[in-house]
Structure 1
Amino acid sequence: MEEQKTITSLQNPLVKKVLQLQEKSRIRKKLGLFIIEGQKELELALKRGIELETVLICEDLRDSALQIEKVSHQLIIISKLIYEKLAYRKTTEGIIAIAKVKTHALENLKFQRNNPLVLVAEAPEKPGNIGALLRTADAANLDAVLIANPKSDIYNPNIIRSSVGCVFTQQIGLGSTEEIISFLKDKKLKIYCAALSASDNYINIDYTQATAIVVGTESTGLSDTWLENADKNIIIPMQGEIDSMNVSVSAAILIFEAKRQRGF
């Protein structure tokens, strides 16, 4: 490990770099780097093989339980003033890391089961919804989460934060709608699309075979391409006056029905 350094100035180039990586997707893509904040998130990232470039630690707030020196090429001590400037939250144990992005190509996905259960989300935009979908996927131990026509950078700090680090625990594949449909058909997964019209009650579907549950945005739903390629369109019956729920809530209902049928 390189000699330990200390930063006390807000004008330090590394401080400015961290702020840019937090705020600008363009910079994250250009540099192939992103920010991880918090001990729990960092531990999950390391467990899944995320490579760190630099770790910034505020000694006044640090939890000594995480022996980060063993996994970083560069460890830098920062003042509490700098930490408060950089941190999204006050309860992240004084640790912020610069990490290297991983590729999320569909061809890199590996299924360990013969009947994988996969969640597909088309064009999700809100980081909070994406984070909630990833948390649900982790809770259900899904085989993969696929994002079609992504509108948000998966390494957006708001997604990492709202997923509580589950962005690192899941196999994530990114691609166009057409690419993901082709991938699912090649892997012989049944495609069940959440839709409002021409749909079967979700409880009447057999999810015990290799299955992809597909959800769209709350505002526009799924594109016609998905509905035309679905094995079945499925619906969660509503008893009130509105015709849709939050996408992460809908996905959770469908996923855990599938898990129930599989005996969890």
Structure 2
Amino acid sequence: MKEITSIHNSYIKELQKLQDKSRERKKIGRFIIEGKREISLAIKGNYEFDTILFVEEIISEKEILALFNENVNRIVISKEVYQKLAYRDSTEGILAVTKAKDFSLENIKFKNKNPLILIAESVEKPGNIGALLRTADAANLDAVFIADPKSDLYNSNIIRSSVGCVFTNEIALGTSAEIINFLQKNNINIFAATLQNSNEYHKENYTEATAIVVGTEATGLTEQWRDAATQNINIPMQGQIDSMNVSVSAAIILFEAKRQRNF
């Protein structure tokens, strides 16, 4: 089994680029997963792995083989190399070089006849995207669509903040126009979370095929989504502010939809 102990190794330098640059991840079609829990969720999500790098003093080869079959390519690395590549401060001693998935709308397969979908338009902050993906996993949604994406979903911040739920959700990326066309073609009702011309969210029926659409906290949803909506909806505020964190808003509406569907 190969062993790498130097941070100046050419392969390690390539992996650093992969970790740091979205452009590199897109060009090569690979990304790095850090941590046992996240890797386990990627396995459940049917991701394919190129190489597993691990620190023997932290995690044994036996533990690696408990996660993967013995045919997986394995490289022992030093703690120094691991610290150079690892994103988090916590040390689990395992990294996986993983093949990216194609997030095209054409690849979406719904589990249910009346799917429940979350759509996030132009959400920039990785922490918010991660929280939305955690909410989607908790609600066992049929899919998450990212409209006009501003971040690479394989950004380490998103993987970390989603606690691996980027691997457990059915995800598609596209322009707002493409996603609206997809929803209309598939007879999916669109409920856009916005203050303009809206009804209180709990007064609507979400038992049919439904897409809940949320936007950025700064500017909200664009006119394109407000016009395409079957109904605009709002969460009535009882304090001094007129909005909440996007992931909190999405959770409130989604779990009302789940309640109506008897979970």
Using structure 2 for the length normalisation, give the TM-score. Answer: 0.96
Q: Which runs of 5+ in 2 are unaligned?
A: none
Alpha-carbon deviation of 1:91?
A: 3.5
Alpha-carbon deviation of 1:114?
A: 1.1
Of 34, 43, 53, 2:31 maps to 34
The 5 A counterparts of 1:1-264 are 4-62=1-59, 64-67=62-65, 68=67, 70=69, 73-264=72-263
Name the amino acid aligned to 2:139: A
The answer as to whether partners of 1:37 and 1:92 remain within 8 angstroms in 2 is no
**Distance between the aligned counterparts of 2:144 and 2:203, measured in 1?**
23
**Distance between the aligned counterparts of 2:232 and 2:53, measured in 1?**
48
Alpha-carbon deviation of 1:239?
A: 1.1
Runs ≥4 in structure 1, deviation > 6 angstroms? none
- SS of equivalent residue, structure 1 residue 217: coil
**Distance between the aligned counterparts of 1:50 and 1:71, measured in 2?**
17
Deviates more, 1:22-31 or 1:62-71: 62-71
Using structure 1 for the length normalisation, give the TM-score. Answer: 0.96
- SS of equivalent residue, structure 2 residue 26: helix
**Distance between the aligned counterparts of 1:127 and 1:75, measured in 2?**
30
**Distance between the aligned counterparts of 1:26 and 1:123, measured in 2?**
19
Identity %: 59
**Distance between the aligned counterparts of 2:126 and 2:44, measured in 1?**
23
Q: Which runs of 5+ in 1 are unaligned?
A: none
- SS of equivalent residue, structure 1 residue 70: coil
> Residues 71 and 173 from structure 1, CA distance in 2 versus in 1: closer, same or farther, beyond 3 angstroms?
farther
The answer as to whether partners of 1:39 and 1:66 remain within 8 angstroms in 2 is no
